[in-house]
Structure 1
Amino acid sequence: MATIAADPGMHEMIHDENLPLVRRLEAVGFRAWPASSVAYDGSWQIRLTGSHPSKRLNCLVALDPSDVRDIPLRIEKAERKFAAHGRPLLVRETPLSPRPLLDYLAQNGWERFEEVVTLTADLTTIELPDGLDYLPTQDVGRYVDADIAVHGADPAGKPALAEIVSAIQPPTGLFVIEDAEDGPLAATLCVQDNDLAGLMSLAVRADRRRQGLGVELLTSALRWARMRGARAAWLQVVADNKAALALYAKMGFTEAYRYAYWRKGA
């Protein structure tokens, strides 16, 4: 499967024949992690969520490589919109991003950061390992508490995270591994969007890693999605997380494309 080049400043686009897959995965990704406010400037999507700092929920995403009109003016307009919400503008680069937009950012002091790999797996052929099978909960509060605990996040973010999870429209399985005495050990959510299943926010508590909990949780979520009719799975992982990439490759996931963010340099 084609990937973008390794140049950290300007990545080459993947082949055109892969763009329909990118468009579909981007669309299901938006539904799997919904922003509270979505506006459009042409084909540029402007995503804002005042209650949560997630970059995916607060960024500009161009969805058509040919939409290149008035780039400086539209960037300035988006910056004002983000500033009104108390946030700096972030631009999310995907294979759908117009080359002139990326050139403009690079030539005007913007910096590229946090490359993320989107992976996919064929659920009709993947062999899932045997092991404990965890059933999903529908208790959003329980899931959010577990997610915050395993990530070591600030508990003050619970209301915002609960709002995002509750806003997900496609069927969603909330998976948690807990210990009666030790509390939450691992958590993930699986969003089934027709024949696609997205794994979001998979994490194991730092002191319980390398014990197979991640594989057990991932397997349970994929088995749940497959039983509900999903034929393919997708997930996203930061490109420098070598351990996670190795685990997902072993499970049968392969790279579909990468994305990254741009921010205005100091």
Structure 2
Amino acid sequence: MNPAETLEVACTAAWDPLISESLGEWRLRWAAGFTGRANSALAVGDPGVPISLALRQVCDFAHSRDIEPRVHAIKDSTTEEALAAHGWIPDIEYANGHEVTVLTGPPGAGDAALVLDEPAPAWWELTTGSAEPSPAQRHVLATGKTGFGMFGDFAAVRGAVTDDIVLVGRLAVRPSHRRQGHAVTLMNAIGAWGTRHGAARCVLQVSVTNSAALALYAGLGFTEHHRYRYWIPA
């Protein structure tokens, strides 16, 4: 696998779906509709069958579990060329942004004591909108070597370590507490936590339309590694 594919595989291990099935080197993922990353086919590597059959199996897997078929593919890859050739299109209507930039950067140095082993109700409320997460939310966000950063009851972040990376996500700050440095504090804290657990670098997955987040991460030394997009049948 090339570096982008290797990083995608590491990231999916840090974002565990309820069900994951292998299709050659592809991964079919389901988590009751919670997040695109856990409810799409990660199309990296060789599916082991002709692309037309692979896409049919992607559709069968999704339809049997009441989600829309969706493929997660590295932008400008040969997989995207094959998807287009078989009538699939970028999912431009995807609510959270169909094109995502994958950023890498230094883990930073902060107060790892801000990162808890178990998420508090306030953490769930900040990151999912409810203090009582669904089974899918709890599984996807709290499975594996995970840490849950909290600053007061107004800022939260998640980190998950796999291989030599800490995948950082779900960064949230209440509107009344924004622009006060809390996001930077938590990014440094989760980076320090990741370092303690063997991570050598941080990874972020951010919609290319999220200009505020991209500016924050650029200021922390993050740069683009590659991009991926979601594709759907036309």
Give TM-score, length-normalised by structure 1. Answer: 0.75
The code of the aligned residue for 2:16 comes to P
Residue 201 of structure 1 aligns with which residue? 170
Residue 11 of structure 1 aligns with which residue? none
**Could you say if the C-alpha distance between residues 173 and 148 of structure 1 is closer, same or farther in structure 2, counting changes exceeding 3 Å?**
closer
* CA distance in 2 between partners of 1:112 and 1:161 (Å): 23
Tell me, what secondary structure is at the counterpart of 1:55? coil
Residue 116 of structure 1 aligns with which residue? 100
What is the Cα-based RMSD across aligned positions, in Å?
Answer: 2.5
**Could you say if the C-alpha distance between residues 230 and 155 of structure 1 is closer, same or farther in structure 2, counting changes exceeding 3 Å?**
closer
Residue 6 of structure 1 aligns with which residue? none
Tell me, what secondary structure is at the counterpart of 1:56? coil
Aligned: 1:46 with 2:28: yes
The code of the aligned residue for 1:62 comes to A
- 1:167-212 Cα shifts (integer Å, max 9, x gaps): 22xx32211122xxxxx21111222224322212112123322121
Percent of matched pairs sharing the same residue: 26
| Unaligned 5+ runs, structure 1 | 1-18, 179-183
Residue 22 of structure 1 aligns with which residue? 4
Residue 260 of structure 1 aligns with which residue? 229
Tell me, what secondary structure is at the counterpart of 2:66? coil
Aligned: 1:188 with 2:157: yes
The 8 Å contact of residues 17 and 139 in structure 2, kept in 1 or not, is answered as: no
Mark the structure with the bigger radius of gyration: 1
The code of the aligned residue for 2:22 comes to Y
* CA distance in 2 between partners of 1:147 and 1:202 (Å): 10
* CA distance in 1 between partners of 2:125 and 2:142 (Å): 19
Tell me, what secondary structure is at the counterpart of 2:169? strand
Aligned: 1:88 with 2:62: no
Structural mapping, 1:164-243, within 5 Å: 164-168=140-144, 171-178=145-152, 184-243=153-212
Q: What's the offset of the Cα at 1:97? A: 5.3
Q: What's the offset of the Cα at 1:81? A: 1.9
**Could you say if the C-alpha distance between residues 177 and 159 of structure 1 is closer, same or farther in structure 2, counting changes exceeding 3 Å?**
farther
Residue 7 of structure 1 aligns with which residue? none
Tell me, what secondary structure is at the counterpart of 2:91? strand
Tell me, what secondary structure is at the counterpart of 2:103? strand
**Could you say if the C-alpha distance between residues 230 and 43 of structure 1 is closer, same or farther in structure 2, counting changes exceeding 3 Å?**
closer
**Could you say if the C-alpha distance between residues 164 and 61 of structure 1 is closer, same or farther in structure 2, counting changes exceeding 3 Å?**
closer
Q: What's the offset of the Cα at 1:160? A: 2.6
User: How many residues were matched structurally?
Assistant: 228
* CA distance in 1 between partners of 2:115 and 2:104 (Å): 22
**Could you say if the C-alpha distance between residues 223 and 155 of structure 1 is closer, same or farther in structure 2, counting changes exceeding 3 Å?**
closer
Residue 95 of structure 2 aligns with which residue? none
Give TM-score, length-normalised by structure 2. Answer: 0.84
**Could you say if the C-alpha distance between residues 229 and 84 of structure 1 is closer, same or farther in structure 2, counting changes exceeding 3 Å?**
closer
* CA distance in 2 between partners of 1:46 and 1:133 (Å): 34
Aligned: 1:162 with 2:138: yes
Tell me, what secondary structure is at the counterpart of 1:210? coil
Tell me, what secondary structure is at the counterpart of 1:98? helix
The 8 Å contact of residues 174 and 190 in structure 1, kept in 2 or not, is answered as: yes
Q: What's the offset of the Cα at 1:116? A: 0.8
Q: What's the offset of the Cα at 1:83? A: 0.9
**Could you say if the C-alpha distance between residues 256 and 60 of structure 1 is closer, same or farther in structure 2, counting changes exceeding 3 Å?**
same
* CA distance in 1 between partners of 2:21 and 2:207 (Å): 27
Aligned: 1:104 with 2:85: yes
Tell me, what secondary structure is at the counterpart of 1:230? coil
Tell me, what secondary structure is at the counterpart of 1:63? coil
Q: What's the offset of the Cα at 1:89? A: 0.3
**Could you say if the C-alpha distance between residues 68 and 133 of structure 1 is closer, same or farther in structure 2, counting changes exceeding 3 Å?**
closer
Q: What's the offset of the Cα at 1:98? A: 1.9
* CA distance in 1 between partners of 2:197 and 2:64 (Å): 42
